[in-house]
Amino acid sequence: MASTNEPAQTIRYESHLLPAFAIFAVLLLLEILPGRLQIVPEWFFYLIAAVVLTPMVAVAVAPEKAAWMRVERATIFLVVMVATAINIVALGQLIVAITVHPDSIGGIPLLTSSIGIWVTNLVVFSLLFWQVDRDGPRVRATNVDIKPDWLFPQTETPEAVPPDWRPFFLDYLFLGFCTATAFSPTDVLPLTRRAKMLMMIESSISLVTIVIVAARAINILK
């Protein structure tokens, strides 16, 4: 009698090279920006990079990816909280400098600091969206039936995409970029309250950075 057991389906995990590259790009940008406001020692950013990139590299090379993806998820949440707190403190210091001591900081430091805050905000929340939606890339790869936090247009037009399509990090990077620039949902709609709150926080940080800090810097440099 033939066996009725079907072979286990191979799980196709997405590459984590792109989110790792995004983190490296932010750290490089923060390193080269001249005159940027620094509220933590420079070595602190290298420590953050080591903490979050180590499990990402392990996910890429280790045969047992699921365990390392759980570690990666925890470290990303930790880094997101730390980086967002640093961003908010730095933004608050810049606003105080603009409003209380307007002559204490020049246009170049204001502009470079605003660029650093905006880009960090974009990448950090893109990583967070990537890990929050349907409990992260590990769960999405297993096709577990969990309700999504964001509705992507590809799911509404399945005939236009491959049958096994699911959002990867680049899709969440685009979502983060639209949230930071348009300050509202574009083609991707938030479905849960936590998704809406996360987008509100990212939009608020981006809006204050652009409208107050960057605008003031450009006005000084004119």
Answer yes or no: is 9 within a domain. no
Widest CA span in the chain: 87
Overall number of domains in the chain: 1
Answer yes or no: is 10 within a domain. no
Answer yes or no: is 4 within a domain. no
Answer yes or no: is 198 within a domain. yes
Quote the CA–CA distance of 36 and 217 in Å, as a whole number.
12
DSSP readout, 172-189? Answer: HHHHHHHHHHHSS-SSSE
- Those residues whose C-beta lies under 8 Å from the C-beta of residue 124, and which sit 6 or more positions away, are 79, 80, 83, 84, 87
Residue 64 DSSP symbol = -
Answer yes or no: is 148 within a domain. yes
Please say whether the beta carbons of 213 and 91 come within 8 A. Answer: yes
Model confidence at 191: pLDDT above 60: yes
Quote the CA–CA distance of 57 and 16 in Å, as a whole number.
8
Share of the chain above pLDDT 70, in %: 95
Quote the CA–CA distance of 79 and 26 in Å, as a whole number.
13
The pair of structure tokens assigned to 185 is 């949902």
pLDDT grade for 97, boundaries at 50, 70 and 90: confident
Model confidence at 1: pLDDT above 80: no
Model confidence at 144: pLDDT above 80: no
The pair of structure tokens assigned to 195 is 């998704």
Residue-number span of the structural domain to which 198 is assigned: 17-32+40-221
The pair of structure tokens assigned to 139 is 């769960």
Phi, psi of 3 (to 5 degrees): -70, 140
Quote the CA–CA distance of 132 and 70 in Å, as a whole number.
12
Please say whether the beta carbons of 37 and 93 come within 8 A. Answer: yes
Answer yes or no: is 200 within a domain. yes
Answer yes or no: is 11 within a domain. no
Burial class (CB in 10 A: 0-12, 13-18, 19+), 56: buried
Answer yes or no: is 104 within a domain. yes
- Reported as a single tens digit per residue, the pLDDT across 17-56 is 889 888 888 888 888 888 888 888 888 888 888 888 899 8
Task: State residue 30's pLDDT score.
Answer: 83
Task: State residue 8's pLDDT score.
Answer: 46
Model confidence at 218: pLDDT above 70: yes
- SS3 category, 170: helix
Task: State residue 203's pLDDT score.
Answer: 96
